[in-house]
Amino acid sequence: MLDVRKALPSALLALALLLAPARAAEAGELSQSGRVVAQALKQMGFTEGEDEFTPFGVRYGYPHGYWCDMFVSWCADEAGVSEEAFPRSVNCARHCRAFTALGRYRSSAARGGTYTPLQGDLVLFYNSSGRIHHVGLVLYVEDGTLFTVEGNALTARLDYPAEEVSEARIPEIEPGDYVTVNQYRLDDPRLHGYAVPAYASREPLELTGFVDLGRYQGAKEAIEEVVAAGIMKGTSSHTFSPRAGMSRGEFLKTVTDLYGFAGWEEKTAPFYDVPPDHPYYNAVMTARSAGLLPETEENCFYPDRWISGEDAQAVLSALLLYMGLEDRTFSFTPGDLSQILTPYTTRGDIAVALCSLREAAPLTTELFTGLLTLGGNPLDWPARTLDGTCYVPLPLLQESFPELKVYGASGGRTEHDAEMSPGSREGREAAVPSGYEQFSDAKALRQILTLESGGQLRTKGFLWNGTLYVSVEDAARLLHVELAASAERGAPESPPA
């Protein structure tokens, strides 16, 4: 049903002018389908006004109407595509009939169709009663997943089956709808079919970077930084889904990788719902062993559900405490549909928090210019200093003491034990976790390690240029040897740039 109401002409004109992009020289540079999609992407993040007011509705006489179909029609208008090639409509079902009458409608895979949609096609959705009720534009298909640009929508919740989300929705308390990118499997039963405009040309629009940041442009730098560092990944080649959530398992994998946690104590019990073959088993076990997770009566972790802001903050606070760093409070806003099923926060907010943690993580070390001795004999090891303490490369220490065992995080064997076992210098640098390469040659990252040789010692080492370092004092105390660093013989050199 379309809700038609009066609106002040001046307000309508002002908003229409605000949202109507100029038809620039791109009209001669892009294909017709590319121009339509480009217009849609320019409105990414636009949010409807009070009572669903939009300039899209203003153009077609329904300023307060459901506007998904008016949005795609508006994009065709702005792109200069004729109505013969791309019929306009204000109603999804009528739009479907118009394309069907032209012989340009294709059924979805869920309805037995074999057509693979192309960028610039319209995708129409229907509900369990068979009513076509929503429409969007095809952005691209990647790995069997359809990515769409939709108006009058929210970012789809993906951690529960679509039917559960639909049944639990309470429109009266949901935020205003906006323009967003969503994703669906090609056989999703919600997909009714595809309207195929008769474009004069339809070369795909060349996409650069993430095209769905929308209102998260303020966080664009942080998002791009954590992705470039390998700390987070996009949801596809050109989408980040900033207003979607992140699974609890993926969140733990991300934060344990960030600080190089890997391993757990043998006594650590697994959660019932995170078996050894689960993709986030190592991260969850590492975090549980380190005390980053609260215990639950049912012994379940729910790794595939989106993490809430409260839980994300608790994990990060526990992590900072464990690392001996000052606690920090982060801004984790609730997601669009966090009021149903379980609360969650957004990937955009998580990216900003992790970016700030990444900036706080690097440590400045200096080349040690004093004299190292082992049993009174000089060593040529490339030691480094941090906060006045001398640190030596762990691989070289293990060459001299093959009985020395190394464990990660809170005592469990690390995933890189093979790299840290005795052997040659060349083959014994510890593997660098994702996101660490950017600190190479200039900065170090704190690493919690447990050393064992006739006894156990938990120590704070660091990872520098791909190699683990431990303090001379800690190593000497554990190994009961005379391993010493003499006073400096000159000003320390600066680390290589």
- pLDDT score at 229: 84
The model's pTM? 0.75
Q: What's the full length of the chain, in residues?
A: 497
pLDDT tops 50 at residue 325: yes
pLDDT tops 80 at residue 416: no
The 10s digit of each residue's pLDDT in 283-306 is 999 899 888 998 888 999 999 999
- pLDDT score at 28: 52
CB atoms within 10 A of CB 354: 25
Q: Which of the pair, 158 or 415, is modelled with greater confidence? A: 158
- pLDDT score at 189: 95
pLDDT tops 80 at residue 270: yes
Give exposure, 432-457, as e/b (b: 16+ Cβ within 10 Å): bbebbeebeeebbbbbbbbbebeeee
The 10s digit of each residue's pLDDT in 357-379 is 887 767 788 999 899 999 999 99
Q: Which of the pair, 422 or 227, is modelled with greater confidence? A: 227
User: Which residue ranges does the chain devote to CATH 3.90.1720.10?
Assistant: 9-207
Cα(81)–Cα(104) distance, rounded to whole angstroms? 16
- pLDDT score at 265: 82
pLDDT tops 70 at residue 399: yes
- pLDDT score at 2: 38
| Amino acid in position 418 | A
Cα(155)–Cα(11) distance, rounded to whole angstroms? 28
- For domain 9-207, the CATH architecture is Alpha-Beta Complex (3.90)
**Cβ–Cβ < 8 Å for 38, 30:** yes
- pLDDT score at 406: 84
- pLDDT score at 269: 92
pLDDT tops 90 at residue 322: no
